[in-house]
Chains A and B, each alone.
Chain A
Amino acid sequence: MSIFSKIVTAIRGGASEAGEAIVDANLVRIMDQEIRDSKASVEKARRGLADLMAEEVGYQRKATELSDKISEYEGYAVQALDKGDETLALEVAEKIADLSNELEYNQGAVTQLNNTIATQKNFLKTSERKVKDFEREAKMVKTTENVQKTSAALSTNFTATGSKMNSARESLDRIKARQRQNEDRLIAGEKLAAESTGSNLEAKLAASGITEGSGKAGDILAKLKAKQNK
């Protein structure tokens, strides 16, 4: 059974009380051990793979050298034949045969190593996936237990203010009422601010003589004086 279904079974079975383990503590230990083991085997496989790849490069290099050498000796054989030295040509041909055998061996090794490398790469990928799976499962258990613990704490310590537990509906109603109150206060505040900046502005306008105000009396007096002088 997968860890996830174990968790679900435990939860459905009512393992939601505080402190109650979601999965057996032993299982958690086993999982941790499995993670360590799989990690070690991944590490080993990775090192092994590197060795194999180095070996393959070695054989490949040797194979290239050998085929170069074979071409070289084939040239010599042709030259010996051109000179009519059949014996020398045969000797060269024997050398070529030896080189060819060696080349075949090296090429065979390269093919075999390539197969092994492919298998090892597959194994490595599978192992890595397994480690990730184990880690994910271990996290699942830890997260569930952590969340469970939090939830248990929540039911005993619901309100921050320490006030008595209220139903969600009541709480929502109260919050909504408070929000309305805040909005009303905001609107009232805005009105007040508008009024005060308005009167402020009027005072300034009056002071600069743009609107009616203290300058008015002076104007009247000036007009009266002008009339008198006529």
Chain B
Amino acid sequence: MSKEILALLEQVNHDEMVIEFELQPMAGNDDIIQVIVKDQEEFPINITTTEDELICMVKLFDADEIKDNAKDEMHDVMLSANLALPLSSFGKIGTTYMLFGALSAGSKAKDIGLEIETLASNTLEAIALVTDYLK
């Protein structure tokens, strides 16, 4: 499956992007392609597909990084900021907080490029937004 995603991502024109990135299949997981963004390698964008969606996810932090008693207020801030973040939304799986964007699986390379670029910059914004609540 990752081959299809990779083929799609390889069509993205790097010259049109303001960020530099490399693609690499995730070791040991055939369903995920990681986009490693230059200078923010700490937050790789993980791309996976379902039947008709392309889901791009960035792990932000784990629940145990949240300061004691700060969770409610942080959630409030996240929900309030959700709409203002272009193309991306906050999500949570298990104890992992993430930022994600979903595209139609039929998206053009240009749209995927925009999604990657936006998600990369939103990631830094998102963490800066909640950094007061993190240990």
Contacts and interface: CB of A to CB of B under 8 A. Distances in A.
A150 to B, nearest CB: 5
B85 to A, nearest CB: 16
Given A151-B96, A172-B127, A142 B51 contact: yes
Contacts of A159: 41-42, 44
Interface of A: 16-17, 139, 142-143, 146-161, 166-169, 171-172, 174-176, 178-179, 182
Interface stretch (B8-16, B32-40, B111-119): B32-40
B18 interface: no
Contacts of A174: 42
Contacts, number: 101
Contacts of A146: 31, 48, 50, 55
B6 interface: no
Contacts of B42: 159, 166, 171, 174-175
B122 interface: no
B89 interface: no
Nearest to A174: B42
Interface of chain A, main secondary structure = helix
Contact of B135 (A151, A154, A169, A172): A169
B26 interface: yes
A150 B128 contact: no
Nearest to A143: B50
In the A-B complex, the 9 residue pairs with the smallest Cβ-Cβ separation, listed nearest first, are: A16-B94, A168-B61, A171-B42, A151-B93, A153-B29, A172-B127, A143-B50, A160-B36, A154-B59
A132 to B, nearest CB: 13
Contacts of B90: none
B43 to A, nearest CB: 7
Interface of B: 24, 26-29, 31-32, 34, 36, 39-44, 46, 48, 50-53, 55, 57, 59-62, 65, 93-96, 98, 124, 127-128, 131, 134-135
Contact of A147 (B26, B55, B62): B55
14 contacts: A139-B50, A142-B50, A143-B50, A146-B48, A147-B55, A148-B93, A151-B57, A151-B96, A154-B98, A155-B96, A158-B59, A167-B61, A169-B127, A175-B40
Contacts of B134: 167-169
Given A150-B55, A151-B94, A171-B43, 10 more contacts: A146-B50, A147-B57, A149-B31, A151-B98, A157-B26, A157-B29, A167-B61, A172-B127, A172-B131, A176-B124
